[in-house]
Structure formats: C-alpha cells, structure tokens
Structure 1
Amino acid sequence: MKYLSLRLLVLLGLALACTIGIKAQNIPASSQKIHLDKPFIQEYSVKYTASEDMVLKKAFSDRNGTIQVLEASGLVRTHAGAFLYPGTLIPDRSYLPMEDKVIRDMLTMEGQFVYLDDEAVFSNAWAGSVYLPHELPGATLFESGKGFIFLVSDGSDLHLVGPQGVIWKDNAANSPVLDIKFDPERNVFYILSTNAVSIFSISEQKLSPLTTGEDFTCFEFRQGKDRLAIGTEDGFFEWDLGKNQMWGTKNAALPSPKLTSISEINGLLWFGSDKGAFLQKEDGGFNYYYGQRWVPGEKVVHVSQKGGNEVLLLTEQGLGKLVFTYQTLAEKAAYFDHQVRDRHIRHGFNASLVGMEKGNVDTGRLGDSDNDGLWTSMYLGGEAFRYAETGDAEALQNVRESLDAMERLYTINPVPGFPSRSFERSGYIERLSDPERWQHASDPEWDWKATTSSDEAIGHVFVFGVIAELVDEADIRAKAIRLLDELMQHIVDNDWYLIDYDGEPTTWGRWNPEYVNGFPTMVGDRKLNSSNIVAMLQTAYHFTGKAVYKQKAYDLMENHGYLENLMRPMEEIGKAKEGSDEWAAMLSESWNHSDDEMYFLGYWGLYRYAFTDELKGMYKKAIVDHWEAERPEKDGLWNIFTALVSPENFDLEEAIWYLQEYPLDLINWTVKNSHRQDIVLLEENFRRQTTQKVLPPDELHIRRHNANRFGLDGGRDGNQENSAGDIWLLPYWMGRYLDVISEPLLP
C-alpha cells in the first residue's frame, strides 16, 4: 500500500469516527479515567532489498528526498517500495559521467550529495562547481569542514583539501583510519582508529592524540553536547571534549553491543550493530529495530536521517526506511479495519493469511483455524462495540456477515446446539489444518470441523451477549439470542458437556462438576471452568429469561462449589502437587495464557449480567484480583476489560501504550530478543515471565491475546499475516464504548 493511500484511509476513518451510539454506563466524570485521542508517533518501515552481489556501505538522502546508496562498485538507488510492498536497490544512472567514476565514499553537505573518488572530492550540486583534487589515489573516506574544506584519508595518510588545493599532508598518528568527524564549534576534525581517537586542528594544521582504547569501531560528534560517542565491539562510551575525560561510564547493556555505526539524529543517538539498529531514548532505554519487520538483513552498517520524519537503516542485505508519522488511535483503527476487510475475511470468519512467501501478502491464502469461531467472536465483538459507539452502517454490515458465519457453525453439523470449529468447501480436507478433525456435512459441497473446545464456547457466549445488548436491529439481536440459547441448552441437556457427532464429549468442552472438581484446587482449570460456565448461564438467563439457566447456575455455585472455585485468588493457582494425576500435572505445568483470554471474555457476562448486586461485588473482586496478576504483561485487552468493573482504577496508560505500540505490520516475522544485553532476565517461573519489564509489541513477534507476551523469540519467518480484528480492534472499540478512549481530537 502506498503511503498516500494510507493517509487517505486515515482521513476516511476520521470521517466515520463520530459518537452517535449508546453508552455503556453513566460514570461520574470525576471517577472515570479517559484517554484523549490525540495524534501520537506511529512507526513503520519501507524496505528495499539488494542483489546478492552488492556490497553496501552508506545511505543518504539529499534535500530533495532522493536516496542514494554507496555500493562497492558505484551508486545505487531505491526503486518502487511501499509499506508491506518492498522495493529494490538498482544502479543509479541519473548522471551519465558518474558511470565512469569509482566512488569510494559519500556524504551530504548543506543537504547535497558530495562524493569521493580516486582523484577528487566533487559534487553535482552547486552547478557542478565543486571539484577538489586530493592527490591521494587510494582514498577511501573523507569528512567535510567549513567552507568546502575536506579531510581525506586512504586509511593511513591524511590530506586536507580546499578550493585552493591540498592544504596539508601527514600520516595518521594511528591507523588504520576508520572514520572522521568534524567539530564546527572548535573547527577541528576527529580521526578514529581501532585503538585511538586523534584530533586535527585546521588553524594549527596539527595532529594530536585525544584518547586511546581497544576495539573502537565507530564514533559520532554530538552537536551541542561537546562530546564524542565512541562505539566498540562491546558497547559505547562518551568522551567529554571540554574536560578531556570519559563522560559517565561505558555502556555495554545494549540490545546488541557489537556496534558498527553511530549517528546522532535530533539530539538522540542511533546505533547500528551486528543484530539490528536501536535508538537510545531520553530515559536511557532503547527502541530496537531488528528483523524483517524493520530491515532486510541483520547487520546494520550505516544509519542516517532522511528529512524530518524518516531514518535510513542500511544493512548488508538492503535498506530499511523508517517512517515516523502522526496519527490518532481512530486513524489507526481505520487502517486496521481496511486490513481486515481487504484480506482477512473467509466466509465471514476473521482469518489469518497463511502460506505467504517471505512476507508477500499477495501470495497468501485465507487459512482455516481450530478457533475460527473464537477469533471471529472477538472481531465481531469489536464491530458490535463500534456500531454501538458510532452507528456506522459498515460496522453493522460487518456484524451481519460474521454473525452469519457464526450461525452456520451450528447448522452445518447434525448435532443440535453444537458449534463446529470451522467449515470449508469439500475436497480440501487433506490440505486443511488438523485434517483428522474434519467431517463431511450432509451437503456434499461442504465439510465441517469437529472436537469443539471450551474457548470456542466462551467466545460465542461473549459475543452473542454483546450483540444482544448493543445492536439495536431486531433480526440480528434475535439471531444472537437464539444461538446463545441453542448452545446453552445443548450444554445443560448433555450434563455440562459439549457432545460431538460421535456421541462423546469433546476433549475440552467440559463443565461437569465431577470433571471440574476432580482437579486439585491449585489447578487453573477448576477455577476457569467454574467462572466460564457461571458467566455463560447468567448471559443465557439475562437474554432468554429461561429459569432453567438461573436454577442451574445457582445449583453449580451453591451445591458444587463453583462460586468458591471462581473466587479462588490467583495467587493460589500453580502446579499440581506431586502425586496428582497426569492430566492435572500437564494442565498445571505452567501458566496457560489461553486461559487468560477465556477468563476475560467470560468476565463480560459474569459481571455485567450478574444475578444480584451482591454477586456483582464478589465478581468484581475476582476480576480485579486476576487483573493484578496480569498487570506486568500490559495487555491492552485485559486492561480495557478491567475498566468494565473498575473504571476508576485500571492501567489506562498501559492499555494505550499497547494500542499505540502495536505495529502496523502484522506479518508474523521471526523476531529474536533473548540475546539482548539491555533486558534483565528472570529465572524460570510458573508464569513464564522472562524479563522484569515486558517489551513493546513492535519489538516482539505478532501474537494474539492467548499467548505469553513475555516470549522473547518466535515468529513464522514472514509466511503469515495476522488479522487486526481480534488483536487490536476489539480492545480499541471496547475502550471507545466504555468511554475510556475518547473520539479523535482534531487540531
């Protein structure tokens, strides 16, 4: 998608973002936390791949926005390229005479390209008048000073060159020379070698030592700070030029300490390394750009600025152009809405794009899933909140189409009230996921997927309740209530089990007291299944009015301990004691993050449709207790769900951080973080929390809400794109509906 198209989508999104729907609850303004939706900085990358024979060295942009890349055999430039649609690097043939020149180095001066070849420093700017012979045939690098003065080196010799010719010559005090930087405040050059930094005074034409060390690789003069930042094979340090001593201490606690490049952009340091690039923030932390989401290749060889809102990251395999643009959450929602509708709707299901070739979204197919009903429930819930909040006709149509898909999950199989996992046209079972789970429908044109689980069921009940409450269209509301009733009647009639086509309970569709209470109290499934089934029964009673659902719920809570189970504090959940059966031991081996998703989806019906205020107060206590346990993960959806029960006390800032930091690129690239030196690793623990602080979503591989946000490594090498429908749009639109996220504030 071209950037102009993205902006167009954004503007369309703003036009739709007006508040004309129902409101969830009347909470006094004094107690209601709310995020005012102002523009924030959103990053994305446009990538350009290089051919295998290219040896890339530096990348710059001139004042016109033209990008040129220095390659061993000449200059190359960017061709095509847009967000999610990579371009390439091709030979630059802009100036005919340049084809015959052997360009050894380049830089920008006053926003213009300046080149170094074996004869001279020259430029095509300034009407081509800059041509300064340097008398150093083996020249490999140079730096500009004031008034078209340049210091040129071949790695051992130094020549100072100006309009009047070669001004000064000498051997470098330390060699080989790796880089040169100019200090306009002192009118001196700094010369970097592997073990020293020297200083050359233009006025005195004198070369002097500045500092020594080991394994120097790169450096940068910090404009206005009177310091040099010096990179090494193991971190960096800064040198105070005024006091002529180290400033602070050496810092090796970096995402990747083997540094290849340092640049200062807008007062902040950018680093290239053997494993990606990173920006040091004002608080000392880092934004990390590593992997195919941001750059083609691993080793970053050069970093430079392009205009006011772009940064060029040159790797050995190509160029990544980081774009920093301002947008509101509403604009981001508009983009993600387009992403879902454009390539993630399969028969009305919210689906992933799978089988892609190296991140090419045009090569993928819509994949089936064990959880088609669950992922669609979450997307559908988001669209219902959107419709309730905005009255948008497109949102209503999206609700209709996805609810039709949900309905067919029930009608395509022969078991009354039993929801299929998925369905697809016949003849493709062997090519679908889990082919052994598929069954032929009575209609020979279709097949359906069996073995439906409890996470499907709770997702269905959640969204049927949301639609029944919030969508003021009689036919849609009636359909949601009918499906809710059919599902819950099936469960009640079958002694708290989901009964499959073969007459047997499915592996996970079990809420029977004998099964649930057969687990030791510390095994999470005992608490989870109790919480879910009570929520499901309350929801069914609230919308159908059938007394059986209320009676059964109270029977489970009062006579089978389900209220005690669901109220059990999260701190008591852990591994089953030694001697427990294998099933309990397996289920409690570590924290199950899929359970978190089931809990929170159930909390909508547990709290909102509670039979009494007394129960509602108890449920609130249980929900807040769970939220407290989940706070380190900073999951946007869990925080927004908690706003339902505790609007005056939940992590709004962390929810917004999640929504803002989630990448626009939802391709499941392989991501690695376990090598990082800037994170504090924890010992192995039950919750599988690997670090003290969770990393931002755009530094992790793409994951749904049922995955551990502390997982450092993972991904699918770009062969899949996830839908934003469940990952992002549900928490955003729920937040809008619950009045914790405002309408976009226009300038």
Structure 2
Amino acid sequence: MNIKLKTIFTLLLVAVLGTTFCFGQRSNIYIADKPFVQEYSIKYNFTNERVTLNSVVSDRNGYIQVLSSHGLLRPKAGQFLFPGELVNDVQYRPTSDKGITDADIYKNQIIYIDDKAVLSNAWAGNLYSRHDLPNAKLFSAGQDFTFLIADEMELNLLKDSETLWEGSLNNEIQDIKYDSENDHFFILSAGEIYSFSPKNNKLELVLQNDKLTCIEVAGKKVLAGTSDGFFEFDAKSKKHISQIEKNLPWPEITTIKSVDGETWFGSTQGAFKLEKNDKFSYYASKRWLPSDNVIDISKGPENSVLILTDAGLAKICRKEMTLFDKAMFFEKQVRERHIRNGFNATVSGMTEGDVTSGSMETSDNDGLWTSMYLAGEVFRYVVTKSEDALQNIRESLDAMERLYTINEIPGFPSRSFERRGYKYHDKKWRRTEDPEWDWKSTTSSDEAIGHIFAFSAIAELVDDAQLKSKAILLIDTLMATTIKNDHYLVDWNGEPTTWGRWNPEYVNARPIMVGDRKINSSNYIGMLQTAYHFTGKEKYKKTAFGLMEKHGYLENLMRPMSEIGRAPETADDWSRMLSESWNHSDDEMYYCGYWGLYRYAFNDELKAKYKEAIVDHWEAERPEKEGLWNIMTAIVGDNDYDLEEAIWYLQEYPLDLVNWTVKNSHRKDIELIPENFREQTIKEVLPPDELRISRHNANRFDLDGGSDGRSEYSAGDIWLLPYWIGRYLGVIGEPVQK
C-alpha cells in the first residue's frame, strides 16, 4: 500500500474507531475541586557563623525582623525556589543602633527592650518605658502596656517607667510568656516554671523538670517543651494535664508557638504542626527550612508562618488554591524548565537547589516520561479544548515520532536522542548518519508501553486528523515490529534488548510467582488489543488470542497480586534477581497498560476479567495512597477507589519539585512494621510533601532519600497526568471558587 492510500485508510479508521468513547459523562463518584491551603517555603539564608540568630517577629504591616547576637536583621529578596538572605536592618537606624536584646509583638506592633527601656516605633514612638535593669535581656507584655522584664535572674514589673514589683529567681531566666485570659505571666528558668500574678504580685513555682527548654501559652493550656517531649498543664489551676514523650516527629523540643490557633513545635530535627486528628505535619529538609535546627517560630504576614533556624529564616506561605490553579502552576513549570527537544526532562547538575544552575538531562526513560506528560496533555485538551495543550501535544508527539526515525532500524524506537558531543558514548549511544545527532539504544518495555498509552490516547480522543493519523501509524509501526521479531524489541546488533521481551519462551520461563511473567503478559495483550482497535488488522487479534489460549497469557495476567513474591532458591538466577522485592516500576507499566487492556478489550467477557485484575492490583497498592493508581482504576467503573485519598495526594504534593535530601526514619510518630516483600516500612504512608520527590515508579514507603537539591523533576508525569486524567474520567470536578 502506498503512503497516500495508507493515510486515507488510517483516516477512515479514525472516523470509525476514534468515536468509541467520548468525554462528558461525569462519574457518579465525583469530587468537587474546592479551594485548599497550599503550602510552600521561601527561604532566607544566613551564613555568618560568628552571629547567633535568636528570634523572629512580624508586625501588622508585614515587616519582618530577626534579632541576632549582633543586632537586628531583615529578609532581603527571596522568592519561591530562589532563596534570599538575612541582612543588617538599617531601615530605621535610631532603633537598629540601640543594642536591642529582645523583641516581641504587642497589639500587632513590634516592641523592643534595650539596656534602658521598653520601646516601640508604633504609637508615634510614645512607648518608651524606662527600667532599672541595665542587663535586661527578656520581656513580655501584659495588660495595658504593663511589661515583665528580666535579666539573668532579676524580674521587674514595669509600667510607664515605674517599677511596680521586683523579684528574683535562683536560676537563669530563659523565657517569659503572658496568659491574657488569666492575667498571669509564666517564667521559664533553668529547670523550673513559675507563674506571676500582677494583681497580687505573687510569684509561684509551678513545676520542676531538668529537661525544660521552652514554654508557650496556647488557649487554656500552658505547653512546656523539654529535650524529651512536652508537658501540658492548665493555665488557670496550674494542674498537670499530660506529658507527651512519644508520637512526636522528634522529641527534642526547642520552641513552641501558638499561631492563629495552631500549635507549632520547633526541634533539633525540623518543625511540626499539631493537626486536628492529633497527628503532625512535618517540615524538615531544605524543601522547607534552611536548617533543621529550629530556634523560633512566629506568625508571619499574609497567613504565613516564620520559622527561624540556625542557618536562616523560612517563610512558610499558605495560599488558597484549587487543583486547577495548581495544575496551571505546574503547566508553567514544565514549559519553562523541562522541555528538551519536545521531551519531558529532568533538570540535573544543580547546586543546592538552584534551578538556574542545572541542565536538562537525557534519560533512559525519555520515551516513558514524555508519554505520560503527553497523555496528560491529551486529557487536558479534551477537557478544556486548550490550544496551548494541543500545541504541546504536537511538539511532544514530534519528539516521540523522531525516536523511530532517527535510527536506521525499521520500526525500532530509540530510548532518546541528543546532539553529538554531549553524551559519553558507551554501548547504549549510537551515531546517526547526521553528524549533529546521536541516539540511545537498548530500549525497554517501559518505553514501549508508555508509547502505546500516549499514542492511543491521541488516536481516540484528539480531534485533529493529522495527529490521529500519526499516532495510529506509530502504534502500527511498533507492534508490527514486535510481531515481525517474534515478540522482541531487536536492537542495532540484531539481539533483543534486555527488557523488550514478550516472547512466550522468555515470559513463561519465569516461575509463576515472579512478577515479570504477569506484567509482560498484561502489557503485551493490552498493546496488541490497542493495535487491533485502531488499525483493524487481524494479525494483532490473532496473535493476542494465540498468546492467551496457547501460552497462558490470560492466566498470567489474571494471577492475583497476592501470589506474586520471591522465586524459590531452586529458580534460575535471573528469576531470583527479578523477584528480590516488589518492583514499583511494574506498577507504572501495569497502569499505563491498563488503558489499552480494559478500554480496547476484544469482548465483554475479557473486559470483565481485566476489571477483576485491575481492581485486585489496586487493592494491593491501596496502602500507598498513590494518586495516579486510585484515579486510573476509575476507568473500570464508578466504584470509589479511594478517590478522596487521590485528592489528598494531589493537594499534598509539594510545589517544590527539587530533589532535596529528606529523612524520616528517625521520627517517633511513625509505626515501623516488619520487613516485607512489598518494602512497606511503616503502617501508614506519609504525605507527599514529607517524602523525597519521586515519580510513580518509586516506593512511597521509602522514608529517606534525595540528592541534596541537585535536580528538579518535571510535574509533567508526576502531577499533571493524574490530575488531567481525573478530570477526563470525571472523578475530579471543575474548580469551585469561593
């Protein structure tokens, strides 16, 4: 058949087959896209080791000041992903030059203490209450501009430059907090907490504990941090309520602050916030903080929280947005920094999270990561009819098509391609006839299933005849090549690639509990069904039924996940290597393949079986709360496949996709479980913003990992695919504004 006739034939098939499914049917299990609070961090670094950072405050104008051992500092520059720094605050020299020893917030204004007075620049500068403690270092404001001030051990109650009361403690005074509800001050000294009543000038010992580190008044309670947890006691009666030592992310508490009714803790291993379910949100690693050694926490401007560490300040911003808003943010992230020759690429070689210091890298999985991004843009286009999405589809499909044409092997997809001279020429990299380009060989099954997923989404859903035609031709090209080569991907050397093997002799050589036997059967049947659906060529249908009926591929793909495990010691080395533990890359391949396996099933009987296999897989994955798996399982029907957890996953995934080093294995609020085949480490998975950045082929129960900010991942495959396929399937609604 000549090219012209083949194009006409393909377009006719598009017209007949491309309308099988249509968008617009909303799922019965439907979650509205309501605004939620998205958190992200703006950091201000400080590198002067001779200066100690002490506290941070912010007034009603949003002005932020940091008190240090060498005077007042303020944040300079700084935006999301581009840290600023702390610099000397010289905006108002008459204050900066006074030798301030403590600062606090009173009536939403910043107030200070120095060796002469409690003072402020608010109230037209009228607050200047002189005191008689030349070494004053601490103070707290009470009612009606009354202040309790302290030096090492002496206490004075001060108002309008008059000392109303004097007292002293036996140990060094470390902090003072005021309880407005009961008109009491609480004073922390070394190993002791006292209360002081301004009404009767009574100083009373409340408790003793050698491990005390900080105090805070939080509503009707006083919280006392220690080096091993914290105490709670009633602010009015002073009676002990509870002592919490366990179930904290880290027990060595350095500060406790009540911010807008929320209780925040600082520690030597990060900060954490107490949630309504008595669990903690954990803020650690350079995703959130310049250092994990937290010194102070306070309320910041515009609903933010300020966390001061020994290496600088973090402003935890909290912005209300919808998932659609987040999608638009990530769409921009991908296009600005992650498109390389049409591929969806990682930025690597970065220095300490600086996204401008890295370069886009080639990857063994360029075809897979791009396929997932490309499919996401297809679903975006179907939902929104965005011309921008359609152009993104064109550009990435061009890159995918060139994978097939840049090498000299008919029908063989390259892993990647790059301009000559930028990659080390190991055996994977091959030269093209064009002296400007090289291509990467040894293509794997990961790429093949990703290609078929993306191409079929275009062929089925995109209302552009040229794109449909190209996608169908690529499906036909890849699958015709595998059949011609006896169900292998055959490389430049005439040998099958390591992983591109769907031949029954290879597949069924694995013992039945080895996952590769199931995954290869599932993927290949789905690929053949897809090729038949869009081309109508009987060879694909005949091959698929032959593999299912004669070689057990249906039995293989239907095998319950509970039967997948380690190969026996008597098995061959390859099978034992393949089954040392659960392969989370297989999960990604399964789900990319489920699109074609289920939607293009040859008949209803097979479709019912495939649904059973997909739901069985989802049940095994359920503890991971993996947003993409939960959402994609909805292709089989209207049951609720933990879609609330999928929304939680999408909401909790951080905006910062820099691969910071993250550690959680030290935490005391997680429940470890015994080692197991699936490598689940703890009873309940942590939120995505507390874990390292990873793609869908990673284990969400990995507690530690990352690369010190040396790379930034693309949201294209990680976040945009689950969101947009959720919108397409109708399980995520349109954005609902307030």
1:160 equivalenced with 2:157 (yes/no) = yes
SS in structure 2 opposite 1:488?
helix
| Residue 179 (str. 1) matches residue 175 (str. 2) | yes
Partner of 1:274: 268
Aligned residue in 1 for 2:5: none
Structure 2 distance, partners of 1:116, 1:169, is 17
- Residue 170 (1) aligns with residue 167 (2): yes
What SS does structure 1 have at the residue aligned with 2:145?
coil
- SS of match in other structure, 1:147: helix
Whichever residue aligns with residue 519 of structure 1, its letter is R
Letter of the 1:485 counterpart: D
Question: How far, CA to CA, are the matches of 2:439 and 2:31 in structure 1?
Answer: 43
The residue that corresponds to 1:119 in the other structure is: 116
Q: Does 1:144 align with 2:141?
A: yes
Matches within 5 A, 1:338-737: 338-430=332-424, 435-737=426-728
- What are the Cα deviations for residues 373-423 of structure 1, in whole angstroms up to 9, with x where unaligned? 000000000001111111111111000000000000000111111100000
Cα 1:616–1:458 change in 2 (3 A) is: same
Amino acid at match of 2:583: N
1:70-219 aligned within 5 A: 70-172=67-169, 174-219=170-215
The alpha-carbon distance between structure 1 residues 746 and 222, as it changes in their structure 2 partners (threshold 3 A), is: closer
Structure 1 residue 100, shift from structure 2 partner: 2.9
Shift of 1:229: 0.7
Asked if 1:37 corresponds to 2:28, the answer is no
Matches of 1:58 and 1:649 in 2, distance apart? 48
Q: 1:23 to 1:178 in 2, by over 3 A?
A: farther
Secondary structure of 1:373's counterpart equals: helix
Q: For each residue in 1:60-96, what CA deviation from the matched residue of structure 2 results, as whole angstroms up to 9, or x when unmatched?
A: 1101001000011100001111111111111000122
Kindly tell me the number of residue pairs found equivalent between the two proteins.
Answer: 720
Deviations 1:533-592, CA, capped at 9 Å, x for gaps: 000000000001110000000000000000000000000000001211111111100000
Contact residue 459 and residue 468 of structure 2 kept, 8 A: yes
Instruction: Tell me how far apart the structure 2 counterparts of residues 26 and 390 of structure 1 sit (CA, whole Å).
Output: 11
Moved over 6 A (4+): 26-29
Cα deviation per residue 1:89-142 (whole Å; 9 max; x = unaligned)? Answer: 110001222343211111011111111112221111111121222221222211
- CA distance in 1 between counterparts of 2:382 and 2:195 reads 67
Q: CA deviation at 1:243?
A: 4.0
Which one of the candidate residues 321, 325, 328 is aligned to 2:322? 328
What is the SS of the residue equivalent to 1:715?
coil
CA distance in 1, matches of 2:56, 2:505: 67
Contact map agreement 1:156 1:176 (CA 8 A) in 2: yes
Residues 529, 601 of structure 2: 8 Å contact kept: yes
Preserved CA contact (<8 Å) 1:23 1:737: no
Q: Shift of the alpha carbon at 1:185?
A: 2.1
Match of 1:14 in 2: none
Once the two structures are TM-superposed, the CA of residue 478 in structure 1 deviates from its matched residue by: 0.6
User: Do 2:33 and 2:732's aligned partners in 1 also have CA atoms closer than 8 Å?
Assistant: yes
Displacement of 1:22 in angstroms is 9.3
1:743 counterpart residue number = 734
- Shift of the alpha carbon at 1:472? 1.2
Q: 1:6 maps to what in 2?
A: none
Contact 2:352 2:710 in 1 (8 A): yes
Query: 1:746 Cα shift?
Result: 3.0
Q: Distance in 2 between matches of 1:660 and 1:205?
A: 51
More displaced, 241-250 or 599-608? 241-250
Tell me the CA shift for residue 156 of structure 1.
1.1
**Deviation digits for residues 10-63 of structure 1, max 9, x if unmatched?**
xxxxxxxxxxx999568987x710111111111111110113233111111101
| Cα-to-partner distance string for 1:698-737 (whole Å, 9 max, x where unaligned) | 0011000000001011111111110000000001110011
CA deviations on 1:428-477 (whole Å, 9 max, x unpaired) are: 222xxx84410101111100000000001000011111110001111101
Amino acid at match of 1:219: I
Which region of structure 1 is more displaced relative to structure 2, 567-576 or 86-95?
86-95
Deviations 1:237-292, CA, capped at 9 Å, x for gaps: 21023443221342432111100000011222100100111100011001111011
Name 2:10's counterpart in structure 1: none
Bigger shift: residues 697-706 or 96-105:
96-105
Q: Distance in 1 between matches of 2:735 and 2:198?
A: 55
Please give the secondary structure, in 2, of the residue aligned with 1:429. coil
RMSD (Å), alpha carbons: 1.5
The correspondence for 1:240, drawn from 229, 234, 244, is 234
Tell me the SS of whatever aligns to 2:577.
helix
Give yes or no for contact 1:236–1:252 (8 Å, CA) kept in 2. Answer: no
Identify unmatched segments of 5+ residues in structure 1. Answer: 1-20
The worse-fitting range, judged by mean Cα deviation, of 135-144 and 606-615 is 135-144
Q: Is the 8 A contact 2:67 2:102 kept in 1?
A: yes
Q: Report the Cα distance in structure 2 between the residues aligned to 1:409 and 1:216, rounded to whole angstroms.
A: 63
| Per-residue deviation, 1:193 | 2.1
Structure 2 CA distance, aligned partners of 1:561 and 1:194? Answer: 74
Deviations 1:296-341 (A, max 9, x none): 0110100000245110000000000011111111111111000000
- Mapped to 1, the partners of 2:715 and 2:617 lie a distance apart of 25
CA distance, structure 1, for counterparts of residue 242 and residue 112 of structure 2:
36
Whether contact under 8 Å (1:22, 1:388) holds in the other structure is no
Paired amino acid for 2:463: D
- What one-letter code is carried by the residue in structure 2 that aligns with 1:193? S
Give the conservation status (yes or no) of the 8 Å contact 1:232–1:258.
yes
- For the pair 1:285 / 2:282, whether they are aligned, the reply is no
- Contact 1:58 / 1:69 at 8 angstroms: preserved in 2? yes
Task: Assess if the C-alpha contact under 8 Å between 1:24 and 1:737 holds in 2.
Answer: no
1:612 is aligned with what amino acid?
N
The residue type equivalent to 2:402 in the other structure is R
- 2:705 is aligned with what amino acid? G
The 8 Å contact of residues 42 and 314 in structure 2, kept in 1 or not, is answered as yes
C-alpha offsets along residues 496-528 of structure 1, whole Å, 9 cap, x if unaligned?
110000001100000111110000000000000
Q: Secondary structure at the match of 1:398?
A: helix
d(CA) in 2 for partners of 1:436 and 1:257?
51
SS at match of 1:361: coil
Please give the alpha-carbon distance, in whole angstroms, between the structure 2 residues aligned to 1:185 and 1:41: 30
Distance in 1, Cα, partners of 2:117 & 2:124: 16
> Contact between 2:62 and 2:302, CA under 8 Å: does it hold in 1?
no
The 5 A counterparts of 1:22-61 are: 32-53=28-49, 54-61=51-58
Q: Which AA in structure 2 matches 1:162?
A: K
Amino acid at match of 2:178: F
Structure 2 alignment gaps of length 5 or more: 1-17
CA distance in 2, matches of 1:384, 1:289: 35
Distance 1:350 1:28 in 2: 30
Between the aligned partners of 1:166 and 1:231, the Cα distance in structure 2 is: 31
Query: How many angstroms apart in 2 are the aligned matches of 1:186 and 1:471?
Result: 67
Counterpart contact for 1:271–1:278, Cα < 8 Å: yes
Is residue 34–residue 742 contact of structure 1 (8 Å, CA) maintained in 2? yes
Q: TM-score, normalised by structure 1?
A: 0.95
User: Could you tell me which residue of structure 2 aligns to residue 9 of structure 1?
Assistant: none
Distance 1:669 1:210 in 2: 43
